Structure formats: structure tokens, C-alpha cells
Chain A
């Protein structure tokens, strides 16, 4: 069953603008991760935020986590054409420690 659901499903912005995508989940988590997938390729890990953290930064990426609302957001600042990709959130919950992935947000950055 899908734990994370991304919103929006698709997002199109101009180069230089910020992109924000959201993830909601249903059960309590150990951590939440964001991954990027370029067209037809494997996923690449971007950032992990633990359940006791509220915000985390990595370069142009900023992730927030609100466990009371069971939601997370990924902000990409000053976007570039190379950021065009699908972005997935994945939650680690329960004792089995598997990741459950959402259906992704397709980001298109127009030059």
C-alpha cells in the first residue's frame, strides 16, 4: 500500500524560480526521504529527515517535516533545467524498516 502521496502530480516552472512539492503520509514514521529520478533511470537519494527533525538543508534543497500533520515538503531553490525529473518521497515506518514510496511529482524546469 502507498504510504506517501506527493502533490502536485506535475509542476512546471521557469528556470530560476523555486519549486515546492509536498508529501503526505498515513502512519507514524522513523524517517522520510526524498529521491530524484531522471527519465528512464534509477532513483537517486537526495535527503533524509528523521522523525524528530523539523527542517533540513542540503545545497539548494530544503526539506521540512510536520509529524503532527503527517506531511513533508521539498523546496528546490533557484531551479535549473537539470532539475527536471520526477521526485519521490519515501517513508520508513514500522519494524520491518522497508521504504514505502509515493507516486511522485514530475517537475519540469523550462529554460
Chain B
């Protein structure tokens, strides 16, 4: 079974802090994604990556950056956390573009 793990289930940070969210997948997938999920808005794509060292902006990249130094690891970085970044963050990976995505359990981030 594909396993996608995220570094934390719950995280509380202060405004202005730099925040790292880590995601690791164990199935050698080339494609990895970061979403945020807010009530009533569904999932919104922040960044994605189709290869190591490659990254593409999604629908809401402002305030975020990403890093993919190794195939299995995709990191989301909040350079200076703000309260409007309080959300559930979901990482996913897929074998083929546009097909089934496997999700991690999510990180619920609260910025105070």
C-alpha cells in the first residue's frame, strides 16, 4: 500500500514564525501536491511538483514556498506565518498525472 506521511498532525505557531511542513511518500511517485482545506472551500492547490527540483504554482501560492530535493520528500514552507494561514494542510502523491492521488493524514496548523 502507498503510504504518505506528514510530519505533524497538529501544529501551533505564532505569527511571523517560519513553518516547515514535511511530506514523505514511499511509492516512488514522481508527482506530489500540497493543498489547503478550509470549511466550505474544499481543497485548494498550493504547489505541485512533477519531478525532483521541479515546482509549479497552484491556485493559491502566495505566502508559501516549497522544496523538493529528493523524490520522496516534498516540503511546504510558510516564510512568515500569518493568522489567515490557519488551516488543514494535505499532502498527496500520484503515479500518473491527472489520476488517483494518495493523501497523507493532514496537518492542522493554527497560527496565533
Contacts and interface: CB of A to CB of B under 8 A. Distances in A.
A binds B: yes
Contact of B104 (A42, A100, A103): A42
B48 interface: yes
A92 B103 contact: no
Contacts of B45: 98-100
Interface stretch (B61-69, B70-78, B92-100): B92-100
Interface of B, helix, strand, loop or mixed by DSSP: strand
A57 interface: no
Contacts, number: 56
B48 A98 contact: yes
A97 B42 contact: no
A88 B42 contact: yes
A111 interface: no
Contacts of B108: 40
A101 B43 contact: yes
Interface string B75-99: 0000000000000101010000111
Interface stretch (A12-20, A43-51, A65-73, A75-83): A43-51
Interface of A: 1-2, 30-31, 33, 40-45, 48, 88, 90, 92, 96-104
